[in-house]
Amino acid sequence: MADSTATSPGNIQAMVVGASDVVARRIKSVLGDLKGVDLAAEAKDGVDAVSRLRRRAIDVIFIDIGDTNAKLATDLSRLLKVDAHAQIVLVATLTFANVKNAMAGLVAGAAEFVQAPSRHTPHIAEAEFTRQIADLALALGRARRDKGQRVIAPPPAARFEHPTPKDLRKRRLHVPKAIAIASSTGGPQALLSLFNDLPREVVQPIFLTQHMPAGFTAALSDHIKRRTGWHCSEGKDGEAVKGGQIYMAPGDYHMTVRRAASGPVVATDQGPEESYCRPSAEPMMRGLIDVYGADNVLFVVLTGMGSDGKAGAKAVADGGGTVVVQDKETSVVWGMPGAVAAAGDCHAILPLSDIPGFIAQAARGK
C-alpha cells in the first residue's frame, strides 16, 4: 500500500491499518470523503503501520482489530514507542474475541473503540458508524496536534474543543450522599487510574456512565474490579444501592436511580439517546438529583468528546453540589470536561492525578 501524496498540511493526517472489506474499506471511504482530513497512509498490518508512522506525522490511526494480521498488543506498544501521544482508534465487528481484544487495547493505550456494522448486527446503522469515524478523526486529530510541538495550521475541528473557561464557582463544603462520574473517549485508562488511586475510605455509592456499546461495559467493570480492588459492576434494574460500590451504566442502557420503600435502587432503561449516547450522563444526573438532591451530589467529568453531562453539571452546581472536571492537558479530548468548564459550571479543573484526592477530601466534607 502506498501513502497518499495529495495531502494538505492544514488537514488532519489519518492512517488506516488493515485490509478487510468489512471494516478497513469502510473507514477509508469515510475518511476519503471527509473535509479537513487526508487519508495520508494505508498499512496492511502493525509492522507496516510502525514503518509509515516513523516516516511521516500521522495525527490519528484507525486499526481494524478483526483483521487476521492484527497483533494488537505488539502493534500498540510499537506505535506508542514511536509516538507516545499517538491517537489510536480500534474498529471491529461485534464478536467475543473482538470485545476482549478491544478492551485490552483500550487499557493499553488506544483512545476509543468503534463497533462496525455487519449482517449480524443490523441495529448498528451505517450512518451512525460514519458519524463516529468522522467525529473521531477530527477530534483526535486536533488533540494529537495540541499535544505535539509541531507548527501546523489549525485543522477545522474546533467544534470539539472549548474556549478558555470562565471563573470557577466557589465551592460550598458539604458531605455528598452520592458521587457521579461521566467519561467517554480515553475514559477506560482514566477510570483505571482514578480508581487505582482513590482511597477506599470513600463510602458513598459511585455512579458511572462511560460511553461504550453493549458487551464492553461488563468487561470494563471487571477490569476495574480486578485492577483496582474497587467493587465495580454493571448496574442492574431494581438493585439496591450500597455505599462503597461502583455502579456502571450498561452499554446501550441509560442508568439512573429511583426511590423504593427500602431506599434508593438502580434503574435502567432504553429511552432515546441523549447527546448521541446511550448510556448518557444526563439521565443519570437527573435521577441522582431527584433522589439525593443536587446539594448532595459530587459530579466528576472526565475526558471525552462532545458535551454529555453539561446540563447535569449546571444543575448540580446551581443546586449547591460540587462539580470537578479533568483538565485539558491530561484529557485525551477536552470535549465533555471543556464544555462544563467553558460554561462556568465547575468548582475545580484538575489533572487526572489530582482528582482521586479531591474526591476523597470532598467526600469527607472538606
Confidence of residue 206 (pLDDT cuts 50, 70, 90): very high
Evaluate whether 141 touches 59 at the Cβ level (below 8 Å): yes
Per-residue pLDDT reduced to its tens digit, 158-184:
444 555 566 799 999 999 999 999 999
Is the pLDDT confidence value at 154 over 50?
no
The predicted structure's pLDDT at residue 117: 85
Q: Who has greater pLDDT, 262 or 152?
A: 262
- Alpha-carbon torsion (65, 135, 349, 314), positive or negative: negative
> For the chain, how far is it from start to end, CA to CA, in angstroms?
58
78-123: per-residue pLDDT in tens? Answer: 999 999 999 999 999 888 888 888 898 998 899 999 998 877 666 6
Q: What's the rounded mean pLDDT across residues 343-356?
A: 96
Mean pLDDT of 187-214: 96
pTM: 0.86
Q: Across-strand partners of 258?
A: 265
C-alpha cell recorded at residue 293: 438532591
Write the pLDDT tens digit of every residue in 47-76: 999 999 999 999 999 999 886 556 788 889
pLDDT at 250: 97
Active site residues: 184, 211, 308
Q: What is the pLDDT of residues 214-252, one digit of tens each?
A: 889 999 999 999 999 999 999 999 999 999 999 999 999
pLDDT surpassing 70 at residue 151: no
Statement: residue 5 has pLDDT above 80:
no
Give the pLDDT band (50/70/90) at residue 39.
very high
Q: Domains in the chain and their CATH numbers? A: 12-159 (3.40.50.2300), 178-363 (3.40.50.180)
State the Cα–Cα distance between residues 30 and 130, nearest whole angstrom.
6
**Rounded to an integer, what distance in angstroms lies between the CA atom of residue 162 and that of residue 165?**
8
The string of pLDDT tens digits covering residues 264-322 is 999 999 999 999 999 999 999 999 999 999 999 999 999 999 999 999 999 999 999 99
The CA distance from 62 to 71, in Å, is: 14
Q: Which pLDDT band holds residue 14 (cuts at 50, 70, 90)?
A: very high
Q: What pLDDT does residue 348 have?
A: 96
At residue 150 the predicted structure's pLDDT band, cuts being 50, 70 and 90, is very low
> Can you give the pLDDT at residue 38?
95
